[in-house]
């Protein structure tokens, strides 16, 4: 999954010959899973048609404050456009538009939208050599960067005038790569390795039957997605589940039993910075697994069970620099039991959820949790989606490891 998946990208197009490249740029963002809208300066329509961009983006293209061809003129709200965007990319950014952006001139819809945007703004200059080197253009670059805007450097090559030199807009593929790298390098968990467990474990009784639980794996998978979205390299060790994830930063390791999970977790733990064990691991397994299916002969069946290895405690015993997080699903004396587990297993943080809370627990899309850290700070949350709980958890971990 691309870093752009689900992002709202607003592409601003100025009047330069490089505007023809924006068809490819729109297509690349859409292919990466982004929602793309285009706002153009009126003069840029002489270089590429709104119809082309609308077809590729699957959205209307905006170039004026009202739709002039509409008898019932509708105002194109630049404020709404600016607030909609997660990223605003001005490409090509001409000397004229850059100067206006740098000096707060607002004489078209694109410039008004720029002044309303609250998201990161990238600009890709495109102009002839002498214009690119002119002192006024250099001042525009510096002012815009001082405002927090990010410049995508122009490249060298043959220009529209026939001159050869700096001023060519970066190629669409390079623009996408530049923005992707810039976002990833600023993420708080960049270069961090995060180990996550999810789902249930199944402990065999015979070749057909097993001891298991109702865990769906949803919570662990949401945590993995949230960690990857913050730039982490994620190892997700999961028991049997129907959950799916597609992200180049997440490596999924599938296991079945508690012993399988123990082995895989210990394989990766030493190389990780953060370990979050959200799996519902079976506490017991059968002492002996029947080699054949057990036939139904008697009214009762007695199984001898033995404890599985305590994965969380085993990591707490050997951890060095790792930030270790456990989960506690309780039905009574919730806080006391969670605090005891936190201390007994040498955790940095424990996430408590109670089956007494409506909407919490297995299978559902929501959860209600309380964080307890090893300084006994307690933070309670309202009922939220598991995706929001995962984000709260990663925010807490990020704050702790960067403290």
Name which of 245, 248, 191 is nearest 3 in CA terms: 248
Start-to-end C-alpha separation, the chain: 30
Contact between residue 30 and residue 57 where contact means Cβ atoms under 8 Å apart: yes
How far are the Cα atoms of 9, 161, 235 from residue 388, in angstroms, in the given order?
A: 23, 53, 21
How far are the Cα atoms of 125, 140, 290 from residue 17, in angstroms, in the given order?
A: 12, 20, 75
Residues forming a β-bridge with 284: 307
Annotated catalytic residue, options 8, 213, 337, 346: 213
CB atoms within 10 A of CB 389: 24
Active site residue 213: yes
Pairing outcome for strands 323-330 and 274-277: parallel
- Residues of 85-119 as b/e, b for ≥16 C-beta within 10 angstroms? bebbbbbbbbbbbbbbbbeeebebbbbbbbebbeb
Burial of 307 (C-beta count, 10 Å sphere; 0-12/13-18/19+): exposed
C-alpha 382/C-alpha 359 separation (Å) is 11
Name which of 187, 131, 175 is nearest 150 in CA terms: 175
Pairing outcome for strands 61-62 and 35-40: parallel
Name which of 362, 17, 223 is nearest 235 in CA terms: 223
Q: Give helix 22-31 / helix 50-57 axis angle, nearest 10°.
A: 10
Burial of 14 (C-beta count, 10 Å sphere; 0-12/13-18/19+): buried
How far are the Cα atoms of 30, 303, 348 from residue 117, in angstroms, in the given order?
A: 21, 65, 39
Contact between residue 19 and residue 49 where contact means Cβ atoms under 8 Å apart: no
Instruction: Please list the active-site residues.
Output: 213
């Amino acid at each position: 999954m691309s870093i752009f998946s689900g992002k709202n990208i607003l592409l601003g197009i100025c009047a330069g010959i490089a505007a023809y490249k924006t068809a490819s740029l729109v297509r690349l963002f859409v292919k990466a899973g982004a929602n793309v809208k285009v706002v153009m300066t009126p003069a840029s329509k002489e270089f590429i048609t709104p119809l082309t961009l609308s077809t590729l983006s699957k959205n209307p293209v905006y170039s004026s404050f009202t739709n002039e061809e509409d008898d019932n003129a509708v105002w194109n709200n630049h404020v709404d456009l600016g607030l909609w965007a997660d990223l605003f990319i001005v490409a090509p950014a001409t000397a004229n538009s850059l100067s206006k952006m740098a000096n707060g001139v607002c004489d078209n819809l694109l410039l008004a939208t720029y002044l309303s945007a609250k998201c990161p703004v990238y600009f890709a200059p495109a102009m002839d050599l002498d214009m690119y080197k002119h002192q006024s253009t250099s001042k525009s670059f510096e002012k815009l960067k001082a405002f927090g805007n990010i410049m995508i450097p122009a490249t060298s090559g043959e220009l529209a005038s026939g001159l050869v030199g700096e001023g060519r807009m970066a190629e669409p593929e390079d623009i996408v790569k530049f923005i992707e790298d810039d976002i990833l390098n600023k993420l708080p968990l960049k270069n961090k390795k995060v180990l996550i467990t999810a789902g249930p474990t199944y402990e065999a009784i015979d070749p057909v039957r097993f001891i298991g639980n109702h865990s769906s794996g949803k919570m662990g998978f949401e945590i993995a997605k949230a960690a990857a979205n913050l730039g982490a390299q994620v190892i997700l060790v999961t028991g049997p589940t129907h959950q799916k994830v597609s992200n180049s930063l997440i490596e999924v390791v599938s296991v079945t039993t508690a012993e399988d999970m123990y082995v895989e977790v210990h394989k990766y733990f030493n190389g990780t910075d953060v370990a979050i064990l959200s799996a519902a691991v079976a506490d017991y397994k059968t002492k002996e697994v029947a080699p054949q299916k057990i036939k139904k002969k008697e009214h009762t069946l007695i199984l001898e069970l033995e404890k599985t290895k305590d994965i969380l405690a085993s990591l707490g015993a050997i951890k060095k620099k790792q930030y270790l997080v456990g989960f506690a699903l309780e039905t009574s004396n919730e806080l006391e039991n969670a605090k005891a587990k936190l201390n007994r297993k040498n955790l940095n943080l424990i996430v408590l959820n109670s089956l007494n809370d409506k909407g919490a627990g297995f299978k559902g899309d929501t959860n209600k949790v309380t964080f307890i850290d090893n300084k006994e700070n307690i933070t309670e949350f309202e009922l939220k989606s598991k995706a929001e709980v995962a984000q709260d958890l990663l925010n807490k971990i990020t704050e702790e490891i960067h403290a």
